[in-house]
Amino acid sequence: MVYSIEPRKREENMKICKVIGKASASLKHPSLEGIKMVIVQELTTEGHFSGKVHLSADPMGAGDGEIVAVTTGGGAGAEICGTRGVCDAAVVAILDSVSLSGREIHSSKPL
């Protein structure tokens, strides 16, 4: 029997996520040395959790509960972990506010 395996198409884009935890590893690929890792969950356009959770490199130093921009795909790894890096998700910004169609779904500023 012959199986044909086609490479999975990688999606590269930015996602709005909330930091929901952190991760650590004593053994890891050399390209991850010194890079903090966080667990993020995607947010919908209404500001609710989507259910999709990612492990992400975090060179920005985001904390629990912060809303962040996460880029995914090969570009994330190349920029954060170097061209031979293994990461495919990275926090690239800590967002102060997010609004869609004039409706604010997130603001870190006090009311």
SS3 102: coil
Q: Whole-model pTM above 0.85? A: no
Between 1 and 11, name the one with better pLDDT.
11
| pLDDT surpasses 90 at 31 | no
Give the pLDDT score at 4.
Answer: 47
Residue 71 phi/psi, 5° resolution?
-100, 145
Q: What is the mean pLDDT of residues 70-76?
A: 78
What is the rounded distance in angstroms from the CA atom of residue 91 to the CA atom of residue 28?
19
pLDDT of residue 29: 83
In percent, the amount of the chain with pLDDT more than 90 equals 35
